[in-house]
Amino acid sequence: MSDVTMLVSLALIFGSMLSGFATFRMSGMRLMPHFIALILAFVLTIGTFITPNTIVFYLAILFQILAPITVCGTICNIIKTQYQTTGIYSSHLALMGMLIVMAIGNLLMYI
């Protein structure tokens, strides 16, 4: 595990949480699986700095990948039917896109 990579991931998750709250309010509070995945990713990523346990590391990576995937159901529908409001969601989407690349990269470097 690279501490620097994980720190960047943590920054991305924290940024995603803040931008996610705005989208969560806008869309009628309907992103529950995604919301939970993102919070768990945040907690587990912090956990990797506290404990050297590899299970925590793998779980953090798993949730860093799951969080962007769980947003698909909602965001695909919004992109398809309500694309004029996607500007509001774009900062959150950008951070989610970066997070999944970081998570996969981190995993490949570790293996």
Partner 1 sequence: MIKEINVKSLRSPAMLVEKVIEKTDGGILVIETDGDSQIKEISELIKKMGYKMEVDGTDIKVSIGEIEASKSINVVGASCPGPILMVGEVLERMAVGEVLEIIAGPNAFTDLTEGLKSMGNDILSAEKTDGGNYKILIKKEEKKKELGVSLDIDEVFIINMTGTGNAEKAYATFMMADVAQNMKLKPTIFLMFDGASLALKGECDKVKHPAFPKLGDKLRAAIKSGVKIYVCEMSSEFRGVDKKLEDGIEIAGAPTFFRFLSKPNARPVWL
Q: Which residues bind partner 1 (CB under 8 A)?
A: 26-30, 77-78, 80-86, 88
Nearest distance in Å: CB 95, partner 1: 19
Nearer to partner 1, 4 or 80 (CB): 80
As a dihedral over the C-alpha atoms of residue 72, residue 65, residue 63, residue 1, rounded to 10 degrees, the angle is -160
Region label for 53, one of left (φ > 0), alpha (ψ between -120 and 50) or beta (otherwise): beta
C-alpha to C-alpha distance for 20 and 38, rounded to whole angstroms:
9
Nearest distance in Å: CB 56, partner 1: 33
Nearest distance in Å: CB 84, partner 1: 5
